[in-house]
Amino acid sequence: MQRIINVLLLLVIVVGVVQLVRKQRNLTIVQAEHSRLAQPYGLLEVKDKSKFLIKRVKTDDPKHFLWHCYCPTNVELEERSGFGRPKKCGSSTFVNDDTYLIRCRFDVRDGVLRAHIIERMGYGRRDFDRKPVLEFVNQHWNELELDVLATAADLTLDTTQVLNFLTIRIPESLRVDFTQQVGETLAKQYTEEPFFQMLYGTPEAFVSYDQEHTQSE
């Protein structure tokens, strides 16, 4: 009986070690990619360590968005991102003030539009597979309405604010063609709300944000 117990305990330990190794390997890959991206951009000039500092980094790809950011000490950040109404995807507390990168890159593979998001909290992917909408968006990507944070200049923002890094909408000029191609139901859904959105903020900031948007609806 004792021998069986010992074998079971050994199996549990082996499984735990394998899971830990896999998790560490994934974290190492994310950290390596983060370091590779951060290296060319140097340090941000942080003048107020109690606030966010956001710098947009230009890329040569219209589907690749990149920001260099500063976050104050002991700030808990939530991420909300996705196609349609964004959902909470995770949170992380910055024990030490630090600079980091946030990247969002889109591609289409196997009939799926994918948003790859990599930043300090790790890697995430948001998928969209509604074919008529996907085809229209991919065809008209350069005509979409893009609201990209810190496009005009570096931004210093209070931690009470939600950071709207990226919002993508179907513009008014395309809505007739969009409705004809995807149908009224889908057209209504993806014109009344953003096609894609990526937000970051503290839990407290999101409470105020949600209240404001609930009232406006």
Tokens 């700030």 locate to: 75
Name the nearest CA neighbour of 132 among 140, 142, 124. Answer: 140
Determine the Cα angle at 163 with ends 160 and 166, to 5°. 165
Question: What does the pLDDT look like over 128-183, one tens digit per residue?
Answer: 999 999 999 999 999 999 999 999 889 999 999 999 999 999 999 999 999 999 99
Answer for the pair 79, 100: CB distance below 8 angstroms, yes or no: no
Answer for the pair 148, 106: CB distance below 8 angstroms, yes or no: no
β-pairing verdict for 112-119 and 64-71: unpaired
Q: Residue 137 belongs to what H/E stretch?
A: helix 131-139
Q: Which residues share a beta bridge with 51?
A: none
What distance in Å separates the CA atoms of residue 30 and residue 36, rounded to the nearest whole number? Answer: 10
Question: How much is the pLDDT for 13?
Answer: 63
pLDDT-derived band of residue 11, with 50, 70 and 90 as boundaries?
low
How many C-beta atoms surround the C-beta of residue 193 within 10 A?
14
In the predicted model, what is the mean pLDDT of residues 44-64?
Answer: 91
Q: Which residues share a beta bridge with 16?
A: none
Question: How much is the pLDDT for 122?
Answer: 78
Question: How much is the pLDDT for 75?
Answer: 87
What is the average pLDDT score of the chain? 84
pLDDT at 30 over 60: no
Question: How much is the pLDDT for 22?
Answer: 65
Question: How much is the pLDDT for 119?
Answer: 82
